[in-house]
Amino acid sequence: MPDERLPAGQTLVAGLQHMVAMFGSTVLAPLLMGFDANVAVLFSGIATLIFFFITCGRVPSYLGSSFSFIAVVIAATGYAGSGLNTNIAVALGGIIAAGAVYTAIGLTVHWAGHGWVERLMPPVVTGSVVAVIGLNLAPVAIKSVSANPVATWIGLFTVAIVGIVACYAPGMARRLPILLGGLIAYIAYLIVANGMSLAPPIDFSPVAQAAWFGLPQFTAPVFDATAMVLIAPVAIVLVAENLGHIKGIGAMTGRDLDPYLGRAFIGDGVATMLSGAGGGPGVTTYAENMGVMAVTRIYSTLAFVVAALFAILLGFSPKFGAAIHTIPGPVIGGLSVVVFGLIAATAARIWVVNKVDFSNVRNLIVAGVTLTVGAGDLALKLGGFTLGGIGVATFGAIILYALLRDPPAD
């Protein structure tokens, strides 16, 4: 149980298992936005420790890099999709703003309860917003595997391998499709490019030159009002995501974790602000680690402290960061096709699990309009600000649901 402790050796193994589980997604998300991998992994560990202390060690969760920020970070920075993002400082100010909004919501929930969140953002709204994030990112994923025929085939191979691992790998390996699928695709690209000279080869010289231990490249935030308005609404998505995760963990453990929802939101919000202040991406609770708990039935929160310490250790290894940045573009593209698709498909799961009734015209209109606005990336100009498609879709879904009353029965 969360408040129980395993022997030291078993706790170490359980923590290492959680670190491996979060690794693929926590590394992939910053790469898609142009963040430094060392900084992202370092702050995922620090964020998990912050979450542990703010929730009093009662909520078993790992905080990794959030995919919810990808579309808005790319929009705010104009990131081209490869290498380090030279304009990342602008996004950091927006990430801090999102963390501040998230923390404010957490404080309100802590003192006033979480019922108002569920009334403001029912499943039809949260599902629609989650779907929008995946659909809005679809062009980015397709572009990354369309540079040339080899890139396309490598990307499709990556998609296939991830699916095979997720469906047919034995035991715990099935819980690590991004990590194992990406590794197999990396090897395939290495054979095709470095061995057969059919694609640009992977350059390992930066890995050889990098030190084993050293400080990562921290970046100071720039507070640009337009970027902050664009990125801050992601806090609403994080609230919905965290709410679902906490309730899921509560169901697994048989414990009522609702009293800790406010603390969980605050912990995630504070961690996101700290990560943004140092050059890292926004963070969120991870479904991958929930999968590990479901398989192992070990919910001890101390295991997450161990996983966090492992992550912090990796964050201080420039050689690790250099190795991560050798991952070929087509492999990242293939992984992004899978991940962005899963984000969009998660919306359907939210609707099904919560039995959203689409024969209700109100639900149908809210979902339909939100998906179209978000997928089409409708921007809204407000004076000197421009609110991007995800922001317009998010606020639009909340406002539209509030405005439309349940229609009378036929």
- In tens, the pLDDT along 9-44 reads 777 777 776 776 676 677 778 888 888 888 988 998
What average pLDDT is seen over the chain? 82
Categorize the per-residue pLDDT at 270 as very low, low, confident or very high, splitting at 50, 70 and 90: very high
* pLDDT above 70 for 407: no
How far is the C-alpha of 108 from the C-alpha of 89, rounded, in Å?
29
% of the chain with per-residue pLDDT over 90: 13
pLDDT of residue 324: 78
Give the whole-angstrom CA distance, residue 294 versus residue 251: 11
The whole-number average pLDDT for the span 209-214 is 83
Q: What is the pLDDT of residue 382?
A: 65
Question: Would you place residue 288 in the very low, low, confident or very high pLDDT band (cuts 50, 70, 90)?
Answer: low
CA distance 309 to 44: 10
Tokens of 253: 């453990």
pLDDT at 20: 67
pLDDT for res 107: 92
Q: How far are the Cα atoms of 48, 194, 323, 325 from residue 331, in angstroms, in the given order?
A: 28, 15, 14, 12
Q: Of 235, 257, 237, 233, which is closest to residue 61 (Cα–Cα)?
A: 257
Helices 234-253 and 287-296, interaxial angle, to 10°? 0
Q: Average pLDDT for residues 109-137, to the nearest whole number?
A: 81
Mean pLDDT of 158-174: 84
Model pLDDT for residues 289-321, shown as the tens digit of each residue: 666 676 667 788 888 888 889 889 888 888 877
The rounded distance, in Å, linking the Cα atoms of 283 and 270 is: 10
Q: How confident is the model at residue 102 (pLDDT cuts 50, 70, 90)?
A: very high
Angle between helix axes 70-77 and 389-403 (nearest 10 degrees) is: 130
Which distant-in-sequence residues (6+ apart) come within 8 Å of 196 by Cβ? none
Query: Where residue 255 falls among pLDDT bands split at 50, 70, 90?
Result: confident
Is residue 220 scored above 80 in pLDDT? yes
Q: What is the pLDDT of residues 363-381, one digit of tens each?
A: 999 999 989 988 887 877 7
